[in-house]
Structure formats: C-alpha cells, structure tokens
Amino acid sequence: MTEKDSDSRELQRRFEMTEKMASAGILAAGIAHEVNNPLTVVLGLSKLLADDKRLPADAREMCERIAANAERAGKITRSLLDFARESKPMKRTLLVADLFERIEVLIGYELKSHLVNYTFEKPNDDCVINADLEQMGQVLLNLLINAEHAMTDSPEKKVRIGAERSGNRVIISIADTGPGIPADKIEKIFEPFYTTKPVGKGTGLGLSICYTIVEDHGGMISIKSPVEGGALFRIELPAA
Ligand code: ADP
C-alpha cells in the first residue's frame, strides 16, 4: 500500500468516525435532556426523605442509596451532554505549561493515593495553544484517570505527560505502564459506549468525549502501543 493510499484510508476512517459520533451525539443529547428532569425529581425527593426524622432508620438508608444512584445517573447524563458537544469551546491562548500545572493540582492526590508514580514534564514556552481550559483539562483528566484504571494490576504504575512543539503543531503525549491496548481494539476505543469496564464502572464515553473536544480544537488524538509496553496517547493541536 502506498503512503497516499494509507493517508486516504485514514482520512476515510476519521470521516466515518465523525459521522458515527455526530449521530450518536444527537441521540445522546436527546436522551440526556429527557432523563435529566425526572432524575432531578428522584434526587431531590430521595434526599428529602433521607433527612426525614419521622421515618425509620432503614427506610432513610434506602433513600440515601436511591439518592446516591440518582447522582451517579446524573453524572452519566452530564457526560452524554458533554459528548454531544452541547457546550462550544471558549478558546483563548493557553500555555500548555499552565494547563499541566492546573491538572496536576486536580489529579495529583488521586494518582498518589493509587500509588501511581506520575511525571508532568514542564513544556517549553513555545507550546502554546488556542484552547478552552476546562475542556482541554477534561481531556487530560480523562486520559490520566483511564491510565490509572488500566494500571490497577500492573507491577509498575507510572504515567508521564509531556508536550513538544513540532512546526506549527503542539504534541501532547501521555504514556502509561499499563497493559496497553491490543491492536484489534485500537480502532474501537474512541467509539461511544465502548468499554471493557464492568457494568456500573465505565460508560465508554470518556474517550469519545476526548475525541470530540480535540476535534473541536482542530486537532487529532491517536494511540500508539509502544514496543516497551503500556499505552501512549498523542494529542496533536494547532499551535497558537
Ligand atoms: P470507560 O473509561 O468508561 O471505559 P473510555 O471511553 O474512557 O470509557 O475508555 C474506553 C476503553 O478504552 C476502556 O474501557 C479501556 O478498555 C480502554 N482504555 C482507555 N484508556 C486505556 C489505557 N490507558 N490503557 C489501556 N486501555 C485503555
């Protein structure tokens, strides 16, 4: 296969993926909106009942469980809305170094408490992007949390995040020492609702959200399986 053939196959694949995401997004947003209102009622009333001292303790405990599960369902509907790109990015010029600093504050404790050894390499000042801080932060958090989950049973738990300038692009990479992603799954993992996590643990929306956010920023996200093992995510963005 020539380089041109493989380039046009890759383009075709990305196009199909975008189409698939768009139709899944419309469906997801519809469901999320419909489900949100009844869910707000379930959550509000179950919390009220859980605090009602006239009820026996075991009934109040059940209400607490209802509330906790309604909250979890609420998180899922919020992910659906994120995935459906309900919020457009509010872009501004952003130093990747500042983005990393913010993410380290948010996730450092979580990683440490799961015994993950993490390194945020300080990017050079030419790593500047035009991005929505919240959305790009969400992408990096998703990738770091996935790395942490993937390394649960790994003897070595390391994650490294770095960035470099390459011409008019900025490349952010996140590498972990988990089991990596089998070659036949690489095409699947950005698809909405694809998850290998048990029911109740994963929604399969995290990477689809990353994909749509990066695309909204004019960039691309891809995965490599490095020879030394683990997973390597690469985000390529236009430099500002
Ligand atoms: P979820 O985390 O809810 O499963 P995602 O879309 O974030 O949804 O991820 C989809 C799947 O991709 C995960 O269930 C997992 O199988 C795989 N995956 C994601 N990140 C990694 C990683 N760093 N290493 C290995 N597998 C991963």
Give the distance (Å) from ligand 1 centre to CA of residue 198: 12
Please tell me if the CB atom of residue 195 comes closer than 6 angstroms to any atom of ligand 1: yes
Q: What is the pLDDT of residue 68?
A: 94
pLDDT at residue 183 above 70? yes
Q: How far is it, in rounded angstroms, from Cα 188 to Cα 181?
A: 10
pLDDT at residue 81 above 90? no
pLDDT at residue 107 above 80? yes
Nearest CA to ligand 1 atom 18: 146
Give the distance (Å) from ligand 1 centre to CA of residue 2: 32
Query: What contacts 202, CB < 8 A, 6 or more positions away?
Result: 195, 196
Nearest CA to ligand 1 atom 19: 146
pLDDT at residue 11 above 90? no
Please tell me if the CB atom of residue 204 comes closer than 6 angstroms to any atom of ligand 1: yes
Give the distance (Å) from ligand 1 centre to CA of residue 73: 20
Q: What is the pLDDT of residue 187?
A: 83
Give the distance (Å) from ligand 1 centre to CA of residue 106: 20
Nearest CA to ligand 1 atom 12: 189
Name the most confidently modeled range: 109-113, 125-129, 183-187, 215-219: 125-129
pLDDT at residue 121 above 90? yes
The reported pTM is 0.79
Encode pLDDT of 164-179 as tens digits: 999 999 999 999 999 9
Please tell me if the CB atom of residue 194 comes closer than 6 angstroms to any atom of ligand 1: yes
pLDDT at residue 53 above 70? yes
Please tell me if the CB atom of residue 178 comes closer than 6 angstroms to any atom of ligand 1: yes
Query: What contacts 77, CB < 8 A, 6 or more positions away?
Result: 31, 32, 35, 36, 39
Q: How far is it, in rounded angstroms, from Cα 106 to Cα 134?
A: 12
Three-state secondary structure call for residue 100:
helix
pLDDT bracket for residue 86 (50, 70, 90): low
pLDDT bracket for residue 104 (50, 70, 90): very high
pLDDT at residue 87 above 70? no
Nearest CA to ligand 1 atom 13: 195
Average pLDDT for the chain: 89
